[in-house]
Amino acid sequence: MNTFSRTLSAALLLAGAALAGPPLTTIQDVIYKADGTPFNGLLTISWNGFEAPDTSAIATQMLTLKVVDGNLHVKLVPNAASNPPVYYTVVYNSDGRVQFSETWAVPQTALTLRLRDVRVGAPGSPGDNGGGPVQESDVVGLIADLSARPVKGTAFAAGRVAFVNPLGAVDSVSGNAGDCVHVDGSSGSCGGSAPSFMDGDAPAGIVDGANTSFTLTGTPNPSTSLAVYRNGLLQNAGADYTLNGRLIQFNAASTPQPGDTLLASYRLSGAATSSPALYANPQVICSGTGGTVSAPGFSSMGTCVIPAGVLASGDRVEIRFDLEHQGGAGGFSYEVHWGATTVLHLDAAASDLLVSGRADAGLIASGARLGTQSWGTVLPFSATVASAADAYAGGLTIDFQGKMGQAGDTLTLQNFTVVRLP
């Protein structure tokens, strides 16, 4: 063979290799919709340029494939082992619009593959990190968010109260279990004794219409905490009496008369026989509107159910209510019950369209000292004092009841409030 023949043969071999092209993998499957009918539409397959397993250069391109009666058949250059990783993006079009898209990674094989063999998660989706760890810097905003959070300080310990040290780190407060924690993170013994109360105190002194001096059991601290009740009516400091230590001095015009009942409530400076002031401000236990009664027998218009553990000896509870009478056929009666004790009972006339009232309960270990006041449109002002032995530690119900004297009339509990005073 001469030189020309050998050169021509080599050129033909090279041209044949070039025409053979890169290796291809066959993907064949039947696609159905969720309702069981075959998928009909177009698949648009696109990719970025990459190098085939035989080092052939694959250019960035796309192709459109028609799927009829669900039959899919396509041959693609393997890209599963490309470096850097390159994927086929496949967009499904049907019924004139894009239905969904997915990502394919095609391995090199002589076998015919199904869709399940080439489908992969979208690059960059959760769980796809290319087989390596995700760096903090790879997550947008993560480093800034972590920097904004406080970190553990050198004195951090589990099971302790935490505070932020001057460097912005979280440390733990050190100290004994009974210590108090200050706002600067230091700890130490707690302050002086807690304030306590004296409720239902009966001032010592003769009630004869002439005596104006009465002595309290304890010394009110502060003096402005003193509340003196005469027959259930709150007396006005300065206008009705003055206080000097434990001594109450009534003014001449307010001198207690024979048969009057005096009760006092006040704070003490940490007496051991009274209850600590757990709350600095009054607490509304119950409030709202009530129901309507029209029957001749007593029935409830509304209740306030006080849970167990709310009331304690030394507490004072204030009850206020308003009633509305509709109709003029006859009168009506109303009551307020403190547990099983009736603390207020009044009979009103047909012309009493509005009624208002209040009751105060000072809690002691054995029950409560009660004072009530009520009045109406024509119903004269009435005040009473009483005692109740109802246990309250396990909870107690305050019940507003009413009954009608004549058919056709109604009595409505328009509003009620129950307040626990510190």
- All residue ranges of the chain with pLDDT < 70 are 1-20, 122-134, 138, 189, 191-195, 269-281, 422
Q: In this predicted structure, what is the pLDDT of residue 15?
A: 47
100 within a domain of the structure (yes/no): yes
The number of domains in the chain is: 4
Same domain, 56 and 86: yes
Q: In this predicted structure, what is the pLDDT of residue 173?
A: 84
278 within a domain of the structure (yes/no): no
At 317, list the tokens: 């509870």
Same domain, 348 and 235: no
If one counts every other C-beta atom within 10 angstroms of the C-beta of residue 186, the result is 13
Same domain, 179 and 203: no
Same domain, 345 and 318: yes
Q: In this predicted structure, what is the pLDDT of residue 154?
A: 84
Same domain, 302 and 243: no
Residue linked to tokens 């119900």: 397
- 374-399 burial: b if 16+ Cβ within 10 Å, else e: bbbeebeeebbbbebeeebeeebebb
- Contacts of 177 by beta carbon, 8 Å cutoff, 6+ apart: none
Structure letter (DSSP) for residue 312: -
End-to-end CA distance of the chain: 121
- Contacts of 320 by beta carbon, 8 Å cutoff, 6+ apart: 356, 357, 358, 416, 417, 419
What is the distance between the alpha carbons of residues 161 and 383, in angstroms, rounded to a whole number? Answer: 52
**CB contact at 8 A, 218 and 266:** yes
Same domain, 246 and 322: no
| 3-class secondary structure, 121 | coil
Q: Helix/strand/coil (H, E, C) string of 238-264?
A: CCCEEEECCEEEECHHHCCCCCCCEEE
300 within a domain of the structure (yes/no): yes
Same domain, 297 and 415: yes
Which of residues 212, 235, 268 is at a domain's end? Answer: 268
What is the distance between the alpha carbons of residues 97 and 266, in angstroms, rounded to a whole number? Answer: 81
Q: In this predicted structure, what is the pLDDT of residue 325?
A: 95
Structural domain of 26: 12-120
Q: In this predicted structure, what is the pLDDT of residue 348?
A: 94
Q: Any bridge partners for residue 98, and if so which?
A: 93
56 within a domain of the structure (yes/no): yes
Same domain, 325 and 403: yes
pTM (2 d.p.):
0.38
Please write the tens of the pLDDT for every residue from 166-188: 888 888 888 777 778 877 777 77
127 within a domain of the structure (yes/no): no
Q: In this predicted structure, what is the pLDDT of residue 10?
A: 52
Q: Write the CATH number for 298.
A: 2.60.120.200
- Nearest C-alpha neighbor of 213 from the set 181, 187, 189, 242: 242
Half-sphere exposure of 88 (CA within 13 A, CB side): 26
132 within a domain of the structure (yes/no): no
Same domain, 253 and 301: no
242 within a domain of the structure (yes/no): yes
Which of residues 244, 268, 292 is at a domain's end? Answer: 268
**CB contact at 8 A, 267 and 196:** yes
Q: What is the distance, to the nearest Å, from the Cα of residue 266 to the centroid of all Cα atoms in its chain?
A: 36
Q: In this predicted structure, what is the pLDDT of residue 275?
A: 44
Q: In this predicted structure, what is the pLDDT of residue 1?
A: 54
What is the distance between the alpha carbons of residues 27 and 52, in angstroms, rounded to a whole number? Answer: 17
Which of residues 234, 268, 302 is at a domain's end? Answer: 268
7 within a domain of the structure (yes/no): no
Q: How many residues does the chain have?
A: 422
Same domain, 264 and 315: no
Name the pairing type of β-strands 180-181 and 187-188: antiparallel
Q: Any bridge partners for residue 332, and if so which?
A: 348, 404
- Nearest C-alpha neighbor of 64 from the set 41, 87, 48, 80: 41
Q: Write the CATH number for 60.
A: 2.60.40
Same domain, 226 and 239: yes
What is the distance between the alpha carbons of residues 413 and 300, in angstroms, rounded to a whole number? Answer: 10
Q: In this predicted structure, what is the pLDDT of residue 3?
A: 54
Same domain, 163 and 245: no
